[in-house]
Amino acid sequence: MTVRVADPDDHLAVMRLLDAAMLEADAAAVEARIEAGDVLVAVEEGRVLGAAVLEPLDDGVFLRSIAVRRARRGNGIGTALVDRATRRHGRLTAEFDERVRPFYASMDFEMERLSDDRLRGSTGDDP
């Protein structure tokens, strides 16, 4: 498996992953992020297994969405995407549901509670 910057041909696969993960994603916004080089994909044998949609901030990037094919979850694909984003941009920030807290905790995200079921976390060094 390799992690690389998405290209325009990956747009449909990225949208399908986000949809399957029940994540809200505007197709035009994702396309713009791909064109800007702000989407990472994990690929194996030409098949997109995971995607991370990033949004630049003044102090790093915001992880807008991350999704991995259901059958491939738990195999380090999401971690590889986050690692690549952190190495590329430094500080990475995300907002997420309580149910995925273990994923972010496993990567040493510092977390704060936003509401009963939402958290914000960050990892990495400032750029």
DSSP-derived secondary structure for 31-99? HHHHHTT-EEEEEETTEEEEEEEEEEETTEEEEEEEEE-GGGTTSSHHHHHHHHHHHHHS-EEEEEEGG
- pLDDT tens for residues 77-94? 999 999 999 999 888 999
Average pLDDT, stretch 112-118? 94
Sign of the Cα pseudo-torsion (8, 14, 19, 22, in order):
negative
Does the residue 24 lie in any domain? Answer: yes
DSSP H or E segment with residue 123:
strand 118-123
Structural domains counted in the chain: 1
Predicted local confidence at residue 25, as pLDDT: 85
pTM of the model: 0.92
pLDDT over 90 (residue 113): yes
Does the residue 28 lie in any domain? Answer: yes
Q: Which domain holds residue 43?
A: 2-93
- pLDDT tens for residues 28-60? 999 999 999 999 999 999 999 999 999 998 878
Does the residue 125 lie in any domain? Answer: no
Does the residue 56 lie in any domain? Answer: yes
Domain at 43, CATH number: 3.40.630.30
Does the residue 106 lie in any domain? Answer: no
Does the residue 99 lie in any domain? Answer: no
Does the residue 60 lie in any domain? Answer: yes
